[in-house]
A and B are shown apart, each in its own frame.
Chain A
């Protein structure tokens, strides 16, 4: 079984300050992990993905995430927030061979 827990439903930061959105996962096998962003009235857009290569993954718009197996975490960070980053962020995990993602409940930034 696989699951994702996004630890904060809302995160508020000032423009220009760092962003940290937390995600913990549970899986029986080596996971693939994803972060998506959803702006109002839009679908989900892929920010970045981890698929067992480098543990520090860089994505679009200055975001990055670090896979920490010992902590079963995949937190999303950005050094300096911008107004345009205001959106809903979803962490997702897949441990199977099919593209069947399990999503977290989202964090509103």
Chain B
């Protein structure tokens, strides 16, 4: 049990589908993150939320739409994806506003776009 739970663990979707990834944390953190992990590339920060407010959008295409209804839940809504969007999507949480706070990661959602 990591304290950060992501669902689903695996997702296959066509380019015209709409799906959502869900993340839930039980660690009492107030900052949540979406990262993309592709083969042979460093982890890419996508979005950051602090106290439910988006504080970082790392030039992510609009086909990825995040939502943070409260400090414990984070969603990533997907639509009209491309095959190059296939990757492992990792959610993380931390205490906010501190560069010394480590991130706590979920086990990720393996996304395949066909």
A interface residues with partner B (beta carbon < 8 Å)? 32, 34, 36, 41-46, 49, 51, 90, 94-106
| Chain B, 82-114, CB within 8 A of any chain A CB | 90, 92, 94-108, 110
Q: B105 touches which one: A43, A51, A100, A102 (CB < 8 A)? A: A43
* 9 closest Cβ pairs, A-B complex: A43-B105, A51-B100, A103-B43, A94-B99, A44-B105, A99-B94, A43-B107, A32-B100, A46-B102
Across-interface contacts of A45 in B (CB, < 8 A):
2, 105
Bound CA span A58–B4, Å = 24
B43 touches A98 (CB 8 A): no
* Interface residues on chain B, size class: 20 to 34
Further pairs besides A98-B97, A99-B103: 14, Cβ < 8 Å: A36-B105, A43-B2, A43-B6, A45-B2, A49-B102, A95-B99, A96-B99, A98-B50, A98-B96, A99-B94, A99-B99, A100-B56, A103-B42, A103-B43
B interface residues with partner A (beta carbon < 8 Å)? 2, 4, 6, 31, 33, 40-43, 45, 48, 50, 55-56, 90, 92, 94-108, 110
* A-B contact list, 15 entries, CB within 8 Å: A32-B100, A36-B105, A43-B2, A43-B92, A46-B103, A46-B104, A51-B100, A96-B99, A97-B98, A98-B96, A99-B33, A99-B97, A100-B56, A104-B42, A105-B42
